[in-house]
Amino acid sequence: MTPFGRKLRELRAARGLTMKEMAEALRVTPAYLSALEHGKRGRPSWRLVQAIIGYFNVIWDEAEELERLARLSHPRIVLDTSDLAPQATELANRLAEEIAGLGQAEIAEMLALLDRRKKEMKR
């Protein structure tokens, strides 16, 4: 499941909607919506994200969060490290090899490190 798929499922469940109802309103198939929720499809289009935002009538921060999650929810990532240091290539390859074996705490730790770095760069 992708971050966007998880959030989409949470929004749908919180409002007591079936997948069929939501898919019909968004003019997509229930199969596509299910695949999106389960991370079996790539990131949703900007148009679909905007339709979901409108459908759930979310505004400001929550809408921005949905857009952010959509950007971060492609289940297959390609990294180009050709102009980076050799250690960056090693990191990318080792992460690709070992990500399935990482625990939730380890993943959370890595995400926290990236979040701290991003905050520092904004200063």
Q: What is the mean pLDDT of each run of 10 residues along the chain (123 residues)?
A: 92 95 96 92 92 94 93 86 94 93 96 94 86
Q: Of 33, 53, 51, which Cα lies nearest the Cα of 41? A: 33
**Are both 67 and 15 inside the same structural domain?**
yes
Residue 42, phi-psi category: left (phi > 0), alpha (psi -120 to 50), beta (remainder): beta
**Are both 37 and 7 inside the same structural domain?**
yes
In which domain, by residue range, is 19 found?
Answer: 3-71
Tally of domains in the chain: 2
Amino acid type, 114 = L
Residue 107 inside a domain? The answer is yes
Residue 114 inside a domain? The answer is yes
**Are both 7 and 67 inside the same structural domain?**
yes
- The answer to whether 7 and 70 are in contact (CB under 8 A) is no
CA distances to 8, 19, 37, 56, 64 from 13, rounded to whole Å, are 9, 9, 12, 12, 20
Q: What is the CATH number of the domain that holds 16?
A: 1.10.260.40
Q: What is the pLDDT of residue 109?
A: 96
pTM above 0.85, yes or no: no
**Are both 54 and 108 inside the same structural domain?**
no
The two structure tokens encoding residue 68: 């952010």
The two structure tokens encoding residue 2: 């992708």
